[in-house]
Amino acid sequence: MKVLSGLLFGTLVTASFSALSAPESYGILFLDRSGSMMIKRPDNQSRCAFSKQQAISKMSKFFLDSSINGQKLNIKTFASGGQIQSITNGFVDFSSAFMALSQLDGEGCTGMTALAEAMCDGADELRLNYSVEASQGAILRVYGSTDGDENHSPVSNCGGSGWQAEVANKYLYEQPPVQFNATIYTGTVQSIANLSNKMDAAIAKDLPAYALSPKHYAQSLPTFDFLKKLAAQTGGTVEEISDNDGNPGEW
């Protein structure tokens, strides 16, 4: 019995030490709040509302999974260019992050998709705030979710025809390293004609500010393929969520 107790104690000590020795993490979690996220899933819930639940799951894993050892997280939303907002007002702990997500409107998605701007913004802000911690072994992590193509980032903020190269440079060549993790929403696309009309109206309204031309949509890879490749290259993960999938799982 004493031998068994000793082995159990040793195992617990080893496990505790392993958890404590995991590198600290600092993160940005951004949510796509563009108009296409209002598409209804078969359960009649919008992707917008579903993504809120998914974000709570990701946030919880970031803080509670000892292998991630999350310390501070900034939760942001994005839609059209220039509309990135931090719903946590900066980097916060678990309780503040949970409260911010709980208060987020589950049906408030509208506008275009400035995905590249959101991705570059996340990497830039992590480096601005936590480069010292990264030099001491901390991991900088961006968690991003989207259901559509980049179509509205300002050219000055990683937009334009070369947006993939701009984003890749942020994650693969600038220092310290930043890990990218993707959640991709796919599946049924209902009322696509009405959605397209709304998107066309939004483009026309914002055209003077962003000068969107066909050449700005040119890219080397389909958007989702690019996100998967970038996640693999930075050591991140990819989660694909079909509209037919059930409740959020782990990140």
C-beta of residue 107 within 8 angstroms of C-beta of residue 63:
no
Given a cut of 70, whether residue 124 has pLDDT beyond it is yes
DSSP conformational letter for 34: S
Residue 136 pLDDT > 60: yes
Residue 127: strand, helix, or coil = helix
Domain ranges of the chain: 28-242
Read off the DSSP letter of residue 28: E
Q: What is the structure's pLDDT at 188? A: 54
Stretch 196-213: mean pLDDT, rounded?
Answer: 40
Q: Is the pLDDT of residue 8 over 90?
A: no
* CA separation for the pair 62, 71 (Å, rounded): 8
Q: What percent of the chain shows pLDDT beyond 70?
A: 77
CATH of domain 28-242: 3.40.50.410
Q: Does pTM surpass 0.85?
A: no
> Is residue 248 scored above 70 in pLDDT?
no
The predicted structure's pLDDT at residue 251: 41
CB 161, CB 125: distance < 8 Å: no
Average pLDDT along the chain: 84
157 is written with which tokens? 């903020």
In tens, the pLDDT along 34-51 reads 999 999 999 899 999 999
**Quick one: pLDDT band at residue 189, thresholds 50, 70, 90?**
very low
Burial class (CB in 10 A: 0-12, 13-18, 19+), 155: middle
115 and 149 Cβ atoms separated by less than 8 Å: yes
Beta-strand (E) ranges in the chain?
25-32, 70-78, 85-86, 139-146, 179-186, 238-242
Cα separation, 119 vs 31, whole angstroms: 11
Instruction: Summarize pLDDT for 138-152 with one digit per residue, the tens.
Output: 999 999 999 999 999
Say what the pLDDT of residue 247 is. 63
Neighbours of 82 (CB within 10 A): 16
Model confidence pLDDT, tens digit, residues 153-170: 999 999 999 999 999 999
Residue 68 amino acid letter: I
The tokens of 20 are what? 């404590």
Q: Which helix (H) or strand (E) holds 168?
A: helix 163-172
pLDDT confidence of residue 220: 79
